[in-house]
Amino acid sequence: MKRSGILNAALAGQLARLGHTDQVLVCDSGMPIPPGVDVVDLAFVPGVPSFADVLDGLLNELVVEGAVAAGEVAEANPACAVLLEERLPGLEHVPHEELKRLSREVKLAVRTGEARPYANVILRCGVYF
C-alpha cells in the first residue's frame, strides 16, 4: 500500500503514463470534457474535492513546464486566479472558449468537485532531468 502521494489508483496510474509535453486538464465540475479524453472524475459533492486540493496534489506529483488558464478567472473567481498565479509562475491566459478548444488535445482530464466558475487549468508536463 502506498504511504503518501496520490492514493486514488486510477489517477496514480494515469499520471504514471504521462510523458514530456503531455497535457492534463484539471477542471471544475462544470467544465465540458471533450469526447475521447481519459477522465478521472474525483467529484463527490459540490466543492469536494476542491480545485485547490487537487491541483496541489497533482503539482506534488508532476513536473510542470507550462500552464494555461482562462483569462476570465481573474474577474469571476479572484481567489482561484491568485491560487493559479502563486502555484504556476509563467501561467498563460487565453479566453475560456480557447481553453475549451485546447482541452481537446489533453491526454487526461481530472474533474474536481469545484463549484466556482473558471477553476480550470491545463498543465503541460515537463521532465525531472
Q: Where are the domains of the chain?
A: 9-125
The pLDDT assigned to 2 comes to: 86
Taking the C-alpha atoms of residue 119 and residue 63, their distance in angstroms, rounded to an integer, is: 20
Taking the C-alpha atoms of residue 105 and residue 78, their distance in angstroms, rounded to an integer, is: 27
Best CA proximity match to 62, nearest among 101, 11, 115: 11
> pLDDT at residue 1 above 90?
no
Best CA proximity match to 13, nearest among 51, 54, 61, 50: 61
Active site residue 20: yes
Exactly one of 20, 60, 92, 104 is catalytic; which is it? 20
| Residue 70 among known ligand-binding residues | no
The secondary structure element, H or E, covering residue 109 is strand 108-111
Please enumerate in sequence order all residues whose Cβ is within 8 A of that of 10, keeping only pairs 6 or more positions apart, or say none: 40
| Residue 96 among known ligand-binding residues | yes
| Residue 41 among known ligand-binding residues | no
Query: Domain 9-125 maps to which CATH number in 3.40.1650.10, 3.30.70.20, 3.30.70.141, 3.90.550.10?
Result: 3.40.1650.10
**pLDDT tens digits, one per residue of 13-45:** 999 999 999 999 999 999 999 999 999 999 999
How much is the pTM? 0.97
